[in-house]
Amino acid sequence: GDSVTQMEGPVTLSEEAFLTINCTYTATGYPSLFWYVQYPGEGLQLLLKATKADDKGSNKGFEATYRKETTSFHLEKGSVQVSDSAVYFCALSDGAGGYNKLIFGAGTRLAVHP
């Protein structure tokens, strides 16, 4: 079945460092891809999405490009801030069965230090 694999954390960076969190997926169809962020004690917030191959999702300085050839959707940010410390989840939706089935990766915790 469909699955999402994320790099294990925690990822620890200094402020203003470059961030990459790897995400690869397995899907039989043509899924939409998402990155969600979870701040401590809160629910998940949609960070960005891409719905087809070569689409680039972007928001708040974060970017991810839907790469069908490598089945990847890596999250990047050029200069992280302490406020970016959170858990990041990669997810896919294949639309199977008519309802919106989201499959999540295990999450990657990011800690940014001043």
Partner 1 sequence: DAGITQSPRHKVTETGTPVTLRCHQTENHRYMYWYRQDPGHGLRLIHYSYGVKDTDKGEVSDGYSVSRSKTEDFLLTLESATSSQTSVYFCAISLAGGQNEQFFGPGTRLTVL
65: Cβ–Cβ under 8 A, 6 or more apart, which residues?
50, 54, 55, 56, 57, 73, 74
Cβ closer to partner 1: 41 or 114?
A: 41
Query: Exactly one of 46, 54, 68, 78 binds partner 1 (CB under 8 A); which one?
Result: 46
22-41 footprint of partner 1 as x/- string (CB under 8 A):
---------xx-x-x-----
Query: Exactly one of 25, 73, 80, 94 binds partner 1 (CB under 8 A); which one?
Result: 94
- Please report, in angstroms and rounded to a whole number, the separation of the first and last CA atoms in the chain: 41
Least separation, in Å, of the C-beta of 90 and partner 1?
9
Does residue 103 sit in helix, strand or coil? strand
Q: Yes or no: say if 87 and 38 are a contact pair by the CB < 8 Å rule.
A: yes
Site membership for partner 1, residue 62 (CB under 8 A)? no
Site membership for partner 1, residue 84 (CB under 8 A)? no
The number of C-alpha atoms within 13 Å of 14 and in the hemisphere containing its C-beta is 0
The pair of structure tokens assigned to 58 is 């972007």
| Site of interaction with partner 1 (CB under 8 A) | 4, 31-32, 34, 36, 42-46, 49, 51, 89, 91, 93-95, 98-102, 104-107
